[in-house]
């Protein structure tokens, strides 16, 4: 019995073809498709303040500490009225920037991952018996570039 396996990362067109092939199999009700999240970068930030005035007050405090490179987040995201202090591709660079800010007296800054939903998808298949696994392997063979892994 195969408890759970995941296959991906499919671009949209391949995902449609793979899904159509799996739909023909008796275990189609045990297949779950999921959109993949990718870490786009690492953001050094101060968590959201209560309102615009709170964010402006925090910005003034940053200026007094000699920090002038920041951006008040004003969109309607969960980070609204937070303050971005830098966005980095590599976590090590974000950590170094956070350490430099700490040396200037900035204590409320954090590092967070910014994720984006990619157009790629993965499929999870659960509880396959030997016949199901054999059928799955035949479909999978038509998509040799896809990686097989354990479910998260």
pLDDT at 69: 96
User: What strand order describes the sheet that includes 2-10?
Assistant: 71-72, 83-88, 31-46, 110-128, 2-10, 147-150
Q: Mean pLDDT score of the chain, rounded to an integer?
A: 93
Average pLDDT of 103-128?
A: 91
Rounded to two decimals, the pTM is 0.56
Question: pLDDT grade, residue 47 (50/70/90)?
Answer: very high
pLDDT at 15: 95
Question: pLDDT grade, residue 38 (50/70/90)?
Answer: confident
Average pLDDT of 121-143?
A: 94
pLDDT at 39: 64
pLDDT digits (tens, 9 = 90+) for 65-112: 999 999 999 999 899 999 999 999 899 999 999 999 999 999 999 999
Question: pLDDT grade, residue 28 (50/70/90)?
Answer: very high
Average pLDDT of 102-123?
A: 90
Asked if residues 45 and 112 have their Cβ atoms less than 8 Å apart, the reply is yes
Q: How far apart are CA 32 and CA 125, in angstroms?
A: 7
First to last CA, the chain: 18
pLDDT at 37: 77
Asked if residues 4 and 150 have their Cβ atoms less than 8 Å apart, the reply is yes
Domains belonging to the chain, first-starting first, are 2-38+119-150 (3.30.70.120), 39-116 (3.30.70)
């Amino acid at each position: 019995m195969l408890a759970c396996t995941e296959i991906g990362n499919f671009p949209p067109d391949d995902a449609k073809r793979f899904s159509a092939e799996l739909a023909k199999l008796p275990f189609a009700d045990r297949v779950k498709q999921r959109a993949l999240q990718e870490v786009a970068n690492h953001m050094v930030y101060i968590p959201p303040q209560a309102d615009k005035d709170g964010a402006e007050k925090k910005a003034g405090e940053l200026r007094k500490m000699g920090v002038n490179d920041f951006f008040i987040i004003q969109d309607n995201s969960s980070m609204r009225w937070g303050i971005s202090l830098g966005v980095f591709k590599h976590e090590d660079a974000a950590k170094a920037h956070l350490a430099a800010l700490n040396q200037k007296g900035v204590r409320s800054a954090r590092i967070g991952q910014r994720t984006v939903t990619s157009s790629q998808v993965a499929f999870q298949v659960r509880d396959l018996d030997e016949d199901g696994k054999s059928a799955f392997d035949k479909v999978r063979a038509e998509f040799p570039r896809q990686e097989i892994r354990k479910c998260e």
